[in-house]
Amino acid sequence: MEVDTPKISSGLEGIYITNSNICKVDGINGRLWYRGYSIEALAENSNFEEVSYLLIYGALPDAEQMEAFSKKLKQYRELSQTTIDILSRMVGRADPMDILRTAISALPADDKDAYENSDDQNARKSIMLISKVASITATIGRMLAGKTYVKPNGDLDHASNFLYMLNGSKPNERDSKVIDLMLVLHAEHATNASTFSAMVTGSTLADIYAAVTSGIATLKGPLHGGADENALKMMREIGTPANTEKYIDDALAGKKRIMGFGHRVYKTYDPRAKIIKKYLIESEDYSDDLKNLAAIALRAETLMIGRLGKTHGIWPNVDFFSGPVYLSIGIPLELFTPLFAVARTPGWCAHVLEYWKNNRLFRPLDFYTGALDIEYKKISER
């Protein structure tokens, strides 16, 4: 029987939906672990390919397992003519996230085993998705710059190959390192909105292509993956470090949200933002534009922590410092959110694969507050 006034948890805040061994977010102390390994240890010692393996298979690989995994990632990098056609028809006419979502959604057309859903096939498709999301994103970036598809380079690791397919030339060591680090930091974050969305789709026993498509669609929003893009736009609007205080105060007075701050789970400094900040302040080689953006970001950080940090638990999140760091390695603004999808694909897949082990259809309730048994009048009588 339905209760009179159920407790509504708006935005599912505070609701546990499953047990999981993938990721622990400690929002009080600002800590994060993937499969038990701290984000600091992974950022320092690991790389995106290894982290992807860890997320998908649950443990770090030995050398042989790592080699086989990297080989599979390489095998799937090349894009089919179907995908290239979709990208060419859409680039310049739709948002890059819509293009990415559409191209991923069309992948089953090129996969003869697309609807085989054994554990092995699902792991294979996950690896394929990790690979394809990167190649598609790089190619969208290339086409946005008016250039054509570049075939992948089999000598390069996943992160370096992403930059290669974007720019058409081998990246330098610093750029490869930074992009790889950014992918590691964004790879997984428990049941955030896009992962939950992928899990809901997975829970209907739709396939993993459908689940990742849902994840991409959900990541697009400015309250989630779109925040880094909007944080950078805000820094550009602020213009100079001296204007930061007035801008922030006016925005807060007008009840505007400052992008790149605040988090549903972290009520303290996001540990990923701390790591990214180190790359922001290593800025001697930056252009004047980047130095200016970095100065604005650091000023905004101090002001926001002073205004809302300690009192309201609103601190910098992963998206705040990312923009200037991406710009420093030549990633254009339009690719920031698709790049988040490149990083988060192993996280989405890991959660869907885990949830399928004990699958139960997601079907929450809403509490109906409208009228009942209203007299129906024909259209001519209304």
Task: Report the catalytic residues.
Answer: 224, 263, 319
| Sheet architecture: strand order including 23-26 | 23-26, 31-34, 37-38
Question: DSSP labels for 125-161?
Answer: HHHHHHHHHHHHHHHHHHHHTT-------TTS-HHHH
91, β-bridge pairs: 94
Distance of CA 305 to CAs 241, 245, 248, 299, 309, Å? 16, 12, 12, 10, 4
Q: How far is the CB of 103 from ligand CMC (least distance, A)?
A: 22
The span from the CA of 329 to the CA of 40, in Å, is 22
> In angstroms, how far apart are the furthest CA atoms of the chain?
76
Q: Is 223 in the site for ligand CMC (CB under 6 A)?
A: yes
The per-residue b/e assignment along 37-51, b for 16 or more CB within 10 angstroms, e otherwise, is eebeebbeebbbbbb
Cβ proximity to ligand CMC, 177 vs 264, nearer residue? 264
Per-residue mark of binding to ligand CMC, 96-135 (x: CB under 6 A)? ----------------------------------------
Taking contact as CB under 6 A, which single stretch among the options 94-102, 207-215, 253-261, 351-359 is the one that binds ligand CMC?
253-261
Q: Is 215 in the site for ligand CMC (CB under 6 A)?
A: no
Taking contact as CB under 6 A, which single stretch among the options 1-9, 98-106, 143-151, 222-230 is the one that binds ligand CMC?
222-230
User: Contact 51/33 with Cβ under 8 angstroms?
Assistant: no
Q: How far is the CB of 354 from ligand CMC (least distance, A)?
A: 20
Task: Give the amino acid at 349.
Answer: C
The span from the CA of 283 to the CA of 70, in Å, is 32
- Tallying the residues shown for the chain, one arrives at 382
Q: How far is the CB of 352 from ligand CMC (least distance, A)?
A: 18
Q: How far is the CB of 192 from ligand CMC (least distance, A)?
A: 5
Among 49, 188, 301, 319, binds ligand CMC (CB under 6 A): 319
Tell me the two tokens of residue 85.
Answer: 């056609």
Q: How far is the CB of 230 from ligand CMC (least distance, A)?
A: 7
Among 261, 279, 326, 348, binds ligand CMC (CB under 6 A): 261
Among 24, 31, 170, 257, binds ligand CMC (CB under 6 A): 257
Q: Is 224 in the site for ligand CMC (CB under 6 A)?
A: yes
CA within 13 Å, CB half, 54: 20
Q: Which of 2, 151, 154 is nearest to 71 (CA)?
A: 154
Taking contact as CB under 6 A, which single stretch among the options 131-139, 224-232, 283-291, 322-330 is the one that binds ligand CMC?
224-232
Among 260, 309, 346, 347, binds ligand CMC (CB under 6 A): 260
The span from the CA of 129 to the CA of 195, in Å, is 15
Which residues, numbered 175-214, are part of the site for ligand CMC (CB under 6 A)?
192
Which residues, numbered 299-318, are part of the site for ligand CMC (CB under 6 A)?
312, 314, 317-318
Q: How far is the CB of 279 from ligand CMC (least distance, A)?
A: 17
Compute how many residues bind ligand CMC; rule: CB under 6 A: 18
Q: Is 227 in the site for ligand CMC (CB under 6 A)?
A: yes
Which stretches of the chain bind ligand CMC, using CB under 6 A?
A: 192, 223-225, 227, 257-264, 312, 314, 317-319
